[in-house]
Structure 1
């Protein structure tokens, strides 16, 4: 599906900056739209068409209570159409916190002399992965500080190590990366190691604000970071994630810029981001920032709903930075991936298993529930927890999520595969109470497939899982 680029003051060209601050601000100065205009935009989104920047600006400017509810309802309807009731689960694994940058909001910054610097060695990494596998995790994102030590060879080696770790029936089937921008050769190396998504967050898309918060280090180069994922596309690493750290600048500007970044990738490479992340600033060691641009829970919920409508096919990631109650609320309006059982201190997963305590972290998390507690709540709220990695391993990636472009994809592939991964979890890791809930949810979801999937074969594979087979998928 070819994306027709919008006409901007800055034309999209590979490796060239594309953010025009004045253009975005002008869009945001549009008057509050009518109810009819909002209806028109939501209908376009529900038909799974990408929204233009003026349309996104209209949603952002629709701040009266009735319009906000109208937008949330549209986002819920769109999410159901594109993703069904699945919520994909993952865990972050911090590999090292050495850093040469001085980001003013981060506990890892080079000027923070109280930060305890540590990098997992080969054996440490194996211990962390085994602890994660013992909890039932199948999908990880490896996180690295920005330091010369964490180059492409180091990242690729750690990815290969993670994939080799097998613990009983446990294994990690997808490793995503959050690390510094690489050059072409670097992106090629990590792609060859079999990574999933490579995430690079711009933090803030406003050049002036960016300079304020990134005074030194390689990360101080705004344009290099802004266009870094273009290099990934050049070497066919087309599975990339973008994000902004909300609270550094006006949240409406950042939402517009995330959509503009999406437009840039689609215009230049015909492939948008696989995921968009929208973490809010949280307390960190020796960090004391002003609250000029803090994002309220109400506005945070709005921005998630608007992002869902703006980019129907893109995965939206919500992390344990947010508390459990807010995560439950926001999932209704567009989130498709969450982490569970999260620990962000270096070495914390293995330490927890050994009943040790580590308290040095990049920032504070607000949902410290175990993976099973998160799964329990998902089941109670009629979600289908999923650890599925089938599409990536079968090559069902590319221009957009296939469920966006292929009718019936969810019920033929996504829901059955989610069911199979949940069945694995229930057999291998779930306490009795969770297992009882989980099998009921599986039966309910099978009954709703309505002939769209090979239900007899699905049931046959579930029985194979109960008998000991693993990693079955459609």
Structure 2
């Protein structure tokens, strides 16, 4: 059970000694999930107005901006989110594509199509198949690629990932991965090969709920996964991506803990850049029904709130979301989106009919999404920001 302290979430870091000697779990355990949730849901109109008035917002302001009390202020939040985003990033949207290498997985996760208990055909791409997928995505214009696998260390461990990075490095300027959490030295090895960024979602910061949805496999270790961004910072990663899977628990409370995690990391590993993603549960093989429904309005509110909290963090929106929603969010806070995504290994050209990890919603081609972005007066950027910036 988490230690229940008075809920002072201004995040002043009076407990700096905990940060210096420990990792994020030391901070995380000093907050009670139930207390944070209650505090968010009891925020008032006055709290929201105060947060909107502040030029520099803290986590207490963030709680007000994601609270139900902020709903009448969404238009004002959207305008401010657009202003902050344009000031920091300009009128540009960076595009990337995921490339699934394997659906092998040794974890049991209740919400994932690749879960060990799902009786599906498993496959891992060969060198030749990796190159076919890479060449296809390069032909579509992509220069930023996200390699994705299930969590199967023996099949798609560090040697496999190193080889994959070596194979595709001539094709792409920026290579990111979304794979099983690794140790610090393993991340350092991959960075030496050309790894640019790592995405690792905690799924939910509700520790008891996390254990229910991850009953078996290395992913069942909540604390090890929670400390993955720490290991990335220690390894000197250029960019780390955070997020929660919305639908497992209360989205507002999970988002607070994601923001708490972000602020901790920014202070401790200040040379690393950070991004936030917003995955919502989507249909898949053996599908889990969401415990909590997050509406489009809720998601828009959350994106605005993150941008008002932090003008520098990158906000990314995947093809899980609908065409209409993604169109509307281009100007209002996000600065990175995927397009023409396939969530199955070899899904672009090698084996389009292999089983998807989850269903995507926005099925438009790369050209159609690029044209949509330009029609809104924005420029399409095909690679991530230069490492020198």
Same-fold status (TM-score > 0.5): yes
Equivalent residue number for residue 34 of structure 1: 45
Q: How does 1:263-274 map to 2 (within 5 A)?
A: 263-271=263-271, 273-274=273-274
CA contact (8 A) 1:9 1:20 kept: no
**Cα separation, partners in 2 of 1:238 and 1:308, compared to 1, 3 Å:** same
**How many Å separate the matches in 1 of 2:178 and 2:117?**
21
Equivalent residue number for residue 307 of structure 1: 306
Asked whether 1:373 is paired with 2:384, we answer no
**Cα separation, partners in 2 of 1:219 and 1:131, compared to 1, 3 Å:** same
C-alpha displacement of 1:239 = 2.0
Match of 1:146 among 144, 148, 151: 151
C-alpha displacement of 1:86 = 0.5
C-alpha displacement of 1:72 = 2.0
Match of 2:167 among 149, 161, 184: 161
**How many Å separate the matches in 2 of 1:260 and 1:21?**
12
Asked whether 1:15 is paired with 2:20, we answer no
Equivalent residue number for residue 454 of structure 1: none
**How many Å separate the matches in 2 of 1:348 and 1:197?**
22
**Cα separation, partners in 2 of 1:75 and 1:273, compared to 1, 3 Å:** same
C-alpha displacement of 1:358 = 1.0
SS at match of 1:159: helix
**1:56-95 C-alpha deviation (Å, 9 max, x unpaired):** 1111225354322222222122112111210000000001
CA contact (8 A) 1:6 1:52 kept: no
**How many Å separate the matches in 2 of 1:385 and 1:132?**
16
C-alpha displacement of 1:10 = 10
**Cα separation, partners in 2 of 1:190 and 1:9, compared to 1, 3 Å:** closer
Aligned length: 375
CA contact (8 A) 2:84 2:311 kept: yes
**How many Å separate the matches in 1 of 2:309 and 2:51?**
9
C-alpha displacement of 1:120 = 0.7
Unaligned runs of 5+ in 1: 165-170, 397-474
Match of 1:133 among 128, 131, 138: 138
Equivalent residue number for residue 80 of structure 1: 86
**Cα separation, partners in 2 of 1:391 and 1:246, compared to 1, 3 Å:** same
Equivalent residue number for residue 290 of structure 2: 291
Asked whether 1:123 is paired with 2:132, we answer no
Asked whether 1:201 is paired with 2:210, we answer no
Equivalent residue number for residue 211 of structure 2: 211
- RMSD of aligned C-alpha atoms? 2.3
SS at match of 2:349: helix
C-alpha displacement of 1:264 = 1.9
**How many Å separate the matches in 1 of 2:358 and 2:125?**
19
Match of 2:386 among 391, 394, 404: 391
**1:337-377 C-alpha deviation (Å, 9 max, x unpaired):** 001121122112124xxxx7415100000011110011011
Asked whether 1:325 is paired with 2:332, we answer no
**How many Å separate the matches in 2 of 1:103 and 1:323?**
25
Equivalent residue number for residue 235 of structure 2: 235
**Cα separation, partners in 2 of 1:79 and 1:390, compared to 1, 3 Å:** closer
**1:114-163 C-alpha deviation (Å, 9 max, x unpaired):** x2211111000000011111111111000011111222222121111101
- TM-score with structure 2 setting the length: 0.90
SS at match of 1:88: strand
Asked whether 1:103 is paired with 2:109, we answer yes
Match of 1:69 among 64, 72, 75: 75
**How many Å separate the matches in 2 of 1:206 and 1:350?**
39
**How many Å separate the matches in 2 of 1:248 and 1:372?**
34
* Higher-Rg member (1/2): 1
**Cα separation, partners in 2 of 1:116 and 1:380, compared to 1, 3 Å:** same
